[in-house]
Amino acid sequence: MSLPKTVKKCLFPVAGYGTRFLPATKSMPKEMLPIVNKPLIQYAAEEAMEAGVTKMGFITGRGKRAIADYFDNNYELEHEIAGSKKAENLNDINNVMDSGQFIFMRQREMLGLGHAILTGEPIIGNEPFAVILADDLCVAPRDGSDTPRAMAQLIELYNQYQCCIVAIEEVPKSDTGSYGIISGEEIEPGIYDVSDMIEKPKPEDAPTNMAIIGRYVLTPQIFDYLRQTKPGANGEVQITDALKQVAREERVIAVKFAGQRFDCGSIPGFVEATNYFYEHEFKAQ
């Protein structure tokens, strides 16, 4: 059976503990932290929607019920504010809820991002799919063009190459230990045929400074690779290790996407994103 030609499903792995945001994340999911007045997970769902995704699968864990509630009605609240100006504050999230289907699965043990993606196999089946890590918040370039956010750019490349696609960004060499790092041949400006990948290398072991950020398009073959992947860095099943095998046996393309990414999994990145959105979106409303 041939695969669907484009991407209609997206997984959002949101099961991590978010320890860098303790104590806030002791009893609330990191993905519900707001940048100004909108939680990270909503920015992620909006980016997927913009890219044409209609089925959104969330890989959650214990203590993450607030995410499922967020994509559901809240009749009492809606009744209280109906007909007032306040009701408009729900327009964006209502629009997201009306535009797709939302499916929730639990990762029972936090065995890593690769394991979280494998947990989503029943949602995806035999189709290419997107993966968005909501703590990497991506915005479109502010150059007056109508270039969309990162995921739509990745799906456009998937449509062209029909293989796994990862988004990359150049990071300071001193930061390579926080990322999966790729090496490969540049086949078009900013587009690389990946030959190797390494998860969280020390700066002296990193082949380049091109880091994978939280946007992927994967083919369903990745599930077989993940099943064969042994726990790697931090004792977790790493998606980078599975993709490294795909790069060796099939093909992985990496793209320096247009736009900007904020690392909202870290406190400095979170503050930077808050300032950006306050300045460019909130004040402009």
Question: Can you give the binding site for ligand UTP, defined by CB under 6 A?
Answer: 13-20, 30, 59, 107, 110-113, 115-116, 133, 135, 265
- C-alpha distances out from residue 252 to 154, 171, 172, 217, Å: 12, 20, 23, 10
Cα gap 201→72, rounded to integer Å: 41
CB-count burial class (<10 Å; 0-12, 13-18, 19+) for 217: buried
Using CB positions, name the residue nearest to ligand UTP: 16
Work out how close the CB of 110 gets to ligand UTP at its nearest, in angstroms, rounded to a whole number. Answer: 4
Work out how close the CB of 14 gets to ligand UTP at its nearest, in angstroms, rounded to a whole number. Answer: 5
Decide whether 208 or 238 has the Cβ nearer to ligand UTP.
Answer: 238
Task: Judge whether 32 and 66 are in contact, CB under 8 Å.
Answer: yes
Decide whether 191 or 197 has the Cβ nearer to ligand UTP.
Answer: 197
Cα gap 137→47, rounded to integer Å: 9
Work out how close the CB of 125 gets to ligand UTP at its nearest, in angstroms, rounded to a whole number. Answer: 20
Does a cis peptide bond (omega within 30 degrees of 0) precede residue 231?
Answer: no
Decide whether 63 or 207 has the Cβ nearer to ligand UTP.
Answer: 63
Work out how close the CB of 98 gets to ligand UTP at its nearest, in angstroms, rounded to a whole number. Answer: 25
Q: Which tokens go with 270? A: 């979170």
Work out how close the CB of 45 gets to ligand UTP at its nearest, in angstroms, rounded to a whole number. Answer: 14
Decide whether 164 or 213 has the Cβ nearer to ligand UTP.
Answer: 213
> Interior CA angle at 201 toward 198 and 203, to 5°?
135
DSSP 14-28: --S--GGGTTGGGSS
Decide whether 22 or 187 has the Cβ nearer to ligand UTP.
Answer: 22
Work out how close the CB of 274 gets to ligand UTP at its nearest, in angstroms, rounded to a whole number. Answer: 17
Decide whether 12 or 192 has the Cβ nearer to ligand UTP.
Answer: 12
